[in-house]
Amino acid sequence: MYVETSTMTSERVRRRRRVLVVEDEPDIAELIKRTLERGGDLQVDLAMTGEAALDKATEFLPDAIILDLNLPRLDGLEVCRILRSRETSATVPIIMLTARTSEAERIRGLDVGADDYVIKPFSPRELAARVRAALRRVKAAEADRGDIEVYKGARLLADFDAVAVSVDGSSIRLTRREFELLRFLIQNRNRVLSRDRLLERVWGYEHSIETRSVDVHIGRLRSKLGTAGDQIETVVGLGYRFVE
């Protein structure tokens, strides 16, 4: 008869990834928690306010964050800004969960550093799939770090090992998503990458997110890169290409 030892159990617990769910509606928070923990590979912590979320993120660094926008006092946008301003949480995947449905609101969420945007009412299973996709993408990005460590162009210097980017000698602050997008473009420089390919490789899944998100991130990345931004070309009807 097979008996699971305490050592094996502790090994399984150590492999569980931690997800912080920031949601002020207890029923929704518990539903998300039950759905994410069902597979046994994730551990979920709950926060009901923005302040509590920042405290918990300081106490432990989550592997991913699900963040409601309509929080009392300190709203989700401000929480996202603060998390992105901290070195420790600057690259943690953040999935915004909100009833705000307009394109302007979605772009605003992406602008402050969110990686994904899920509209209420939502499918708990789809949300769980997005969380796991974000975690897979982070793992894949970590594995890719050996592919190219430093890119040095006429204006752009990107040290992927040190997670540092500069243009004309001035440091550029990128979100984790922008950084990974730049890295993937550079790794495939002079090749046209479709929006679907970028979604699959940088976002970590092939569907359930609008290709508009790629355009938004490309636009923000170009703007931040300034004089080096024109190295990211739009190939009409096909996608994007990073050129030397």
pLDDT in tens, 12-54: 444 689 999 999 999 999 999 999 999 899 999 999 999 999 9
CA distances from 31 to 20, 23, 83, 187 (A): 14, 11, 24, 40
- Helix or strand run (H / E) with residue 9: helix 6-15
Domains of the chain: 6-142 (3.40.50.2300), 147-242 (1.10.10.10)
Give me the sign of the Cα torsion angle 147, 87, 126, 76: negative
**Closest alpha carbon to 192 in 235, 128, 141, 223:** 235
Whether residue 74 contacts residue 51, with contact meaning beta carbons closer than 8 Å, is answered with: yes
For the beta sheet containing 94-98, the strands, ordered from the edge strand earlier in sequence to the opposite edge, are: 42-47, 17-22, 64-68, 94-98, 116-119
Q: Quick: pLDDT tens for 163-190.
A: 899 999 999 988 888 888 999 999 888 9
Q: Quick: pLDDT tens for 85-100.
A: 887 888 899 999 988 7
Confidence (pTM): 0.63
Band (pLDDT 50/70/90 cuts) for residue 9 is very low
